[in-house]
Structure 1
Amino acid sequence: MYHDSVISIILGGGQGSRLYPLTATRSKPAVPIAGKYRLVDIPISNCINSEIKRMFVLTQFNSASLNKHIKNTYHFSFFSQAFVDVLAAEQTMTSSNWFQGTADAVRQNMHHFLNHEFEYALILSGDQLYQMDFNKMLDAHVASNAEITIATLPVVEREATSFGILKTDENSFITSFIEKPEASLLPDWTSEVSDEMKAQGRNHLASMGIYIFNRQLLIDLMENPDTNDFGKEIIPQSINKHRTLSYPFEGYWTDIGNVDSFFEANLGLTDDIPAFDLFNNKKRIYTRARMLPTTKISGTTLNRAVIAEGCIINAAKIEHSVIGIRARIGHDSTIVNTYMMGSDIYQTLAEVTSQTTIPMGIGKRCFIKNAIIDKNCCIGNDVRINVDENSKDAETDTYVIKEGIIVIKKGATIPHGTVI
Structure 2
Amino acid sequence: MKRKLLGVIDATTYHEDLEDLLTHRSLAALPFAGRYRIIDFVLSNMVNSGIRSVAIFPKMTYRSLMDHLGSGKNWDLNRKRDGLFFFPTPVVDSDINKIGTFENFAANLDFFYRSSQEYSIITNCYTVFNMDFKPLLDWHIHSGCDITEIHHEDGTPMEMYLVKTSLLIKLIETRNETGYTCMRDVVLDPEHQYSICSYVYSGYAVMIDSIQNYFSTSLNLLNSDVWKQLFIKEQPILTKVKDEPPTRYLKGSAVQNAMIANGCLINGTVENSIISRGVKIGKGAVIKNCIIMQKCVIEDNCYLDSVILDKDVKVEAGTNLTGTARDPFVVRKGTKQGALMKS
- 1:313 lines up with 2:266 in the alignment: yes
Aligned ranges 1:322-341 → 2 under 5 Å? 322-341=274-293
SS at match of 2:277: coil
SS at match of 2:86: strand
Counterpart residue number, 1:22: 21
Counterpart residue number, 1:397: none
The counterpart of 2:233, out of the listed 268, 276, 281, is 281
Amino acid at match of 1:368: L
Amino acid at match of 1:99: S
Note the C-alpha offset of 1:320: 1.1
Counterpart residue number, 2:81: 81
Counterpart residue number, 1:379: 315
Note the C-alpha offset of 1:419: 1.0
Instruction: Please give the alpha-carbon distance, in whole angstroms, between the structure 2 residues aligned to 1:291 and 1:43.
Output: 24
Note the C-alpha offset of 1:6: 1.2
Q: Deviations over 1:294-313 (max 9, x none)?
A: 11112222221011111111
The counterpart of 1:224, out of the listed 175, 178, 193, is 175
Counterpart residue number, 1:271: 223
Instruction: Output the aligned Cα RMSD.
Output: 2.0
Instruction: Please give the alpha-carbon distance, in whole angstroms, between the structure 1 residues aligned to 2:71 and 2:255.
Output: 33
Amino acid at match of 1:214: K
Distance change >3 Å, CA 45–CA 13, structure 1 → 2 = same
Counterpart residue number, 1:304: 257
Instruction: Please give the alpha-carbon distance, in whole angstroms, between the structure 2 residues aligned to 1:78 and 1:364.
Output: 44
Distance change >3 Å, CA 284–CA 106, structure 1 → 2 = same
Q: Deviations over 1:352-386 (max 9, x none)?
A: xxxxxxxx510111110111110000111001011
Which stretch has the larger CA shift, 105-114 or 36-45? 105-114
**Which of these two proteins has the greater Rg computed from alpha carbons?**
1
Amino acid at match of 1:37: Y
Aligned ranges 1:248-267 → 2 under 5 Å? 248-267=200-219
- 1:54 lines up with 2:53 in the alignment: yes
Which stretch has the larger CA shift, 103-112 or 10-19? 103-112
Q: Deviations over 1:303-334 (max 9, x none)?
A: 2101111111111x211110001111001111
Instruction: Please give the alpha-carbon distance, in whole angstroms, between the structure 2 residues aligned to 1:41 and 1:418.
Output: 35
Instruction: Please give the alpha-carbon distance, in whole angstroms, between the structure 1 residues aligned to 2:229 and 2:261.
Output: 16
Instruction: Please give the alpha-carbon distance, in whole angstroms, between the structure 2 residues aligned to 1:411 and 1:151.
Output: 38
Instruction: Please give the alpha-carbon distance, in whole angstroms, between the structure 2 residues aligned to 1:415 and 1:72.
Output: 40
Counterpart residue number, 1:8: 7
Amino acid at match of 1:380: E
- 1:415 lines up with 2:338 in the alignment: yes
Aligned ranges 1:9-408 → 2 under 5 Å? 9-71=8-70, 73-74=72-73, 76=76, 81-90=81-90, 98-100=93-95, 101-102=98-99, 103-104=101-102, 105-155=104-154, 205-222=155-172, 223-225=174-176, 226-231=179-184, 233-237=185-189, 240-275=192-227, 277=229, 279-298=231-250, 299-315=252-268, 317-343=269-295, 360-388=296-324, 403-408=326-331
Consecutive unaligned residues in structure 2, runs of 5 or more: none
Instruction: Please give the alpha-carbon distance, in whole angstroms, between the structure 2 residues aligned to 1:7 and 1:78.
Output: 16
How many residues in Structure 1 have an aligned counterpart in Structure 2?
334
Q: TM-score, normalised by structure 2?
A: 0.91
Which stretch has the larger CA shift, 365-374 or 275-284? 275-284
SS at match of 1:285: coil
Aligned 8 A contact 1:11 1:124 in 2: yes
Consecutive unaligned residues in structure 1, runs of 5 or more: 91-95, 156-204, 344-359, 390-402
Aligned 8 A contact 1:35 1:308 in 2: yes
Distance change >3 Å, CA 297–CA 72, structure 1 → 2 = farther
SS at match of 1:51: coil
Distance change >3 Å, CA 227–CA 108, structure 1 → 2 = farther
Instruction: Please give the alpha-carbon distance, in whole angstroms, between the structure 2 residues aligned to 1:388 and 1:215.
Output: 46
